[in-house]
Structure formats: structure tokens, C-alpha cells
Amino acid sequence: MGSLWLDTAPRTERAQLAGDLQVDVAVLGGGVAGMTVALLLKRDGARVAVVEAAHVGGGVTGCTTAKVSALQATIYSTIRKRNGEQAAAAYGEASLAGVERLAALAAEQAIECGLERRAAYTYAAEDSERSAVEREAQAAAGAGLAVELVDAPDLPYAVHGAVRLGDQVQIHPVRYVQGLAAAVDGGGSQVFERTRALAVDEGSPCRVRTAHGDVRADHVVIATHYPFLDRGLYFARLKPQRSYCIAARLASGRPPRGMSISAGSPTRSVRSHGEFLIVGGEGHSTGSGKADRERFARLEAFARRHWDVEAITHRWSAQDPSPYDHLPVIGPYRPGSSRLWVTAGFMKWGFASATFAAMILADRIAGRDNPWAGVFGPTRLSLRSAHELAALGAKYAIDLVGDRIRPPRAPRAGAVPPGEARVVPDGLGKKGVYRDENGSLHAVSLRCTHMGCLVRFNAAERSWDCPCHGSRFAVDGSVLEGPAVQPLERREP
């Protein structure tokens, strides 16, 4: 079974866009980023249209662990090293504000999302990680967080010290964003579902093109998780990382109250939701060929080793992009844009950061100053992280051509076993062939419709994933996740 969150919230069925529409702001994407900015803009008096390709909360927001915390593994030591103390302090102040704004929005809108105050911990699983925890405590304190070093979080296994931040929040993420969507609807604003934005013309007004009509708007916010416009600015800077989660019901004992994450590798992220224990980890780059069911098995073994697990009830995985310099990208979409905006790059901590991103964008669109805006501007260039930018560019070049010279992995479609996929010859080229459990074959072009990299099979999710910018496609070629907006070409099996 998939995500605990999508399984325990009814899917919303909102109207598809039907014809052209004119509003003040169009927000593309109905995850936590899009829905929060939409609501803040509506509160500023704007008429807002949210254009969501599938369903509100059905993207990464529905496949997360949903800890809303300003303490985020070892982010402050990383930001301090890459971007300096001022940037770490801005991230800390903004993240604390993001946590509190999310809690305030949930309270003001009376959203029943199981919001609970909890302590957050980053712990040393091994003695060798103790120094990382101490460094994080120092960096987080320097960034303004009221952290303390403690011997152990409330975990049933030995750890080698932890940094603790009290009074953070955990929620049911889908119920939270559905509550935001309900608050956006009405008074001239509307959330549309099953409406994919295909292109945006920046102008006065801007025009969002979809298959069901155009939305004209003074401002457009791209909150599609991975920005889907423009070849260059974002695609060279954001690296999607996949991670895996399981939920378990315990036969005896209770899941921990705190929200914990290990400082080192392998990552183990733990929280509770009611009686459920949730464990996350096993991350890797999207499309790296490392996606397999073993990752769930390792999380399951970890849970069974430390808790009295009665049943694993849910398994899910998702991805989030990490910017090359470890700061989210929030602000004008392109240099000089004053009507087109972006919010992305949350590094698996989007509940606090998408919320402060919404605060920044709402201020910018309303013409108000925002003290954090400069730090997160998308066109910044971090010299200290320039080597990471170069490495991402090189990785793209390798992924673009790399698989083209590898031999096919099955001689013909007939040799593909049920439930598996192979790359097979297709004239002078290659195609991807998947055989479903009923024996039917599904064949697609391996060329990603975004910028032409070759997709790879994800055996854990049964999808074709692109290593370049993280687009994902179902076995029939349809788009599961952008930045691609067009399906893979179908081929004869």
C-alpha cells in the first residue's frame, strides 16, 4: 500500500479549468508551496487561481514524513559552511517563522490535520557522528535556534548524543493542504484540479496555457515542485533526491513522541502518527538506478529490530530537489522578472521552508519588503559552492549521453519477465519495455520529453525516471512528475 497520508485522507475532486479565466495571481501547483502562497495572497486581497495538474496534496506533499521543524538534520552546519553565518541565520529565522506560520494557519482555518507540538532531534547513530551533532548544535544556536545537546531522544536504541529543539510541529500533510485549499476557494478565488500548465508567457498580463483554457494573471507563481519552465537556470541547479518511507502498526509499546533523524548515513528518520510508527531513509539521486524494493526491506528490518512491529501497513517513496548551494530558491523566476515567481528546492524540509517561501512571495507580490528575500533569490551565485554547480552540469552531460552507448539489456521484448522492465533494441536505437503481471507489454521511448536525457527503470515504483532533472513517467509513458509536461512516446512492444 502507498502513502499513509494519501490513504487516510479522501482525495478531493475539484473542477477542471473549463475555458479562459482572468485573475490577479495564478499559482501553479497544489502542494504545500502552492497552497500556502495562494492563501496568503488571497488574504492580501488578490483573486487567485490555483492550477493543479492532478489533485491537491497528491504530489510530494502527500508522500512525506511531514515534520514541521526548524531543526533539520545537519542543515545549519552545511549552510554555514557553504554560504556563511548570515545565510544560516536567515534560514534559521525564516524556518522558525515558517513553523509558527503553519501552526497559525492551521489554527485560524480550524484545519483538522492532527497538528501536535513535538521536540525535534538530530542524533548520532554512531560515535563517529557525535562531532557532526555537536557542530550542528553550535551552528543551529548561532542561527538563532534554542537548541540543546542531550544524551538521547526517546528512541528504543542507544544513540551517541543528540541536538534537540523543542516545540516543533507534526501534522497530517494532506489534510493540512486540503484545509488550505478549502480556504482558498471562494470570493473570486478557485483551486482547479486535473489541469496541467503547459507553458507560461510572461507579460502584462501573463498567460498560463493549459489544454482546458488559458489563465491570464498579473502574476504567476511556479510552485510545481521542480520548476518546469526555462532551460538552464533551474535545471543546472536542482538535484532531485528520492527517499523511502514505511508506516507500521505496533503489537506492543508506543511509537516515539519526538521527531528524530540521524546525523549520518544511512539516514533514519522517525516520527509517530497516532498509533503508527513512521520510518524514512534510504535516499539516493533520482534515476540513479538504485531504486529497488530492497530499500523498503531495509527500513522494515530497522523498524522490526527496534520496535515490536505487528504489521507494515504502508510503503511509499518520493523525491525533493536539493539546490547546489543548499538554500531554497524563492523569488523572481528569471533575472528581471517582476511578474513570474518561483518557489522550490526544499531539500526534504519543505513544510517549514515552503511556508516561509510563501511569506516571502506574498510580500514581494504585494510590494512589501521582506528581510529574507535576498538570501534565497534564485539568481544568486555561491562561489563557495561553484564546484557543486559544475558537478551538477557535468552529471547532466554524462546522463544525456551516458546510456546511449550502453548495450540493450534484453535481446527482444518477448524476453522481458513479468513485473520487470528491460531496455531492448528498437531499429537502430533502443526502447524501454515493461511487462505487467498479466503478461501485457508496454513499450516507450527512453528519451525524456523534457530535455532528452535517457530515463531508467525504477523497480521500487515501477516507473521510468530521468536522472537529469527528476521527471518520472508511468510504464505507459504518461507524466507522473515534472518538469516534463509531455508523455514519453509510445513504441510498438
Ligand X SMILES: Cc1cc2nc3c(=O)[nH]c(=O)nc-3n(C[C@H](O)[C@H](O)[C@H](O)COP(=O)(O)OP(=O)(O)OC[C@H]3O[C@@H](n4cnc5c(N)ncnc54)[C@H](O)[C@@H]3O)c2cc1C
Q: Parallel, antiparallel, or unpaired: how do β-strands 276-285 and 238-250 relate?
A: antiparallel
Binding partner of residue 320 among ligand X, ligand FES, none, CB cut-off 5 to 8 Å per kind? ligand X
The window from 27-35, 85-93, 151-159, 290-298 that contacts ligand X (CB under 6 A) reads 27-35
The answer to whether residue 65 forms part of the interface with ligand X (CB under 6 A) is yes
Among 37, 53, 73, 303, binds ligand X (CB under 6 A): 53
Binding partner of residue 83 among ligand X, ligand FES, none, CB cut-off 5 to 8 Å per kind? none
**Cα–Cα distance list, 81 to 84, 90, 91 (Å):** 6, 14, 13
Binding partner of residue 38 among ligand X, ligand FES, none, CB cut-off 5 to 8 Å per kind? none
The answer to whether residue 322 forms part of the interface with ligand X (CB under 6 A) is no
Binding partner of residue 484 among ligand X, ligand FES, none, CB cut-off 5 to 8 Å per kind? ligand FES
Binding partner of residue 450 among ligand FES, ligand X, none, CB cut-off 5 to 8 Å per kind? ligand FES
Tell me the closest approach of the beta carbon of residue 343 to ligand X, in angstroms.
7
Q: Please report, as a single letter, which amino acid is at residue 336.
A: G
Q: Which residues bind ligand FES (CB under 6 A)?
A: 448, 450-453, 466, 468-471, 483-484
Helix then strand then coil, in percent of the chain rounded to 5, is: 30, 30, 40
Residue (of 458, 436, 437, 449) closest to 478 by Cα position? 449
* Rounded (10°) CA dihedral 381, 384, 390, 393: -50
Instruction: Please give the Cα distance from 491 to 452 (Å, whole number).
Output: 16
Residue (of 319, 298, 307, 169) closest to 246 by Cα position? 298
The answer to whether residue 31 forms part of the interface with ligand X (CB under 6 A) is yes
Binding partner of residue 102 among ligand FES, ligand X, none, CB cut-off 5 to 8 Å per kind? none
The window from 24-32, 39-47, 380-388, 403-411 that contacts ligand X (CB under 6 A) reads 24-32
- Please check whether residue 214 is in contact with residue 20, taking contact to mean a CB–CB distance below 8 angstroms: yes
Contacts of 350 (CB under 8 A, 6+ apart): 31, 32, 33, 60, 61, 64, 320
Count of all residues that appear for the chain in the document: 493
Q: What three-state secondary structure class fits 81?
A: helix
Tell me the closest approach of the beta carbon of residue 149 to ligand FES, in angstroms.
41
Pick the closer one to ligand FES by CB: 282 or 399.
Answer: 399
Binding partner of residue 60 among ligand FES, ligand X, none, CB cut-off 5 to 8 Å per kind? ligand X
Phi-psi region of 301 (alpha: psi -120 to 50; beta: other; left: phi over 0): alpha
Pick the closer one to ligand X by CB: 54 or 152.
Answer: 54
Give the DSSP H or E segment for 25.
Answer: strand 21-28
The answer to whether residue 113 forms part of the interface with ligand X (CB under 6 A) is no
Pick the closer one to ligand FES by CB: 280 or 483.
Answer: 483
Among 80, 130, 164, 196, binds ligand X (CB under 6 A): 196
Contacts of 307 (CB under 8 A, 6+ apart): 156, 248, 250, 253, 255, 277
Tell me the closest approach of the beta carbon of residue 286 to ligand FES, in angstroms.
9
Pick the closer one to ligand FES by CB: 142 or 487.
Answer: 487
Contacts of 140 (CB under 8 A, 6+ apart): 71, 76, 92, 147, 163, 165
Q: Could you list the residues that contact ligand X (CB under 6 A)?
A: 28-34, 51-54, 58-61, 64-68, 196-197, 223-225, 228, 243, 245, 280, 318-320, 346, 348-352, 354, 482, 485
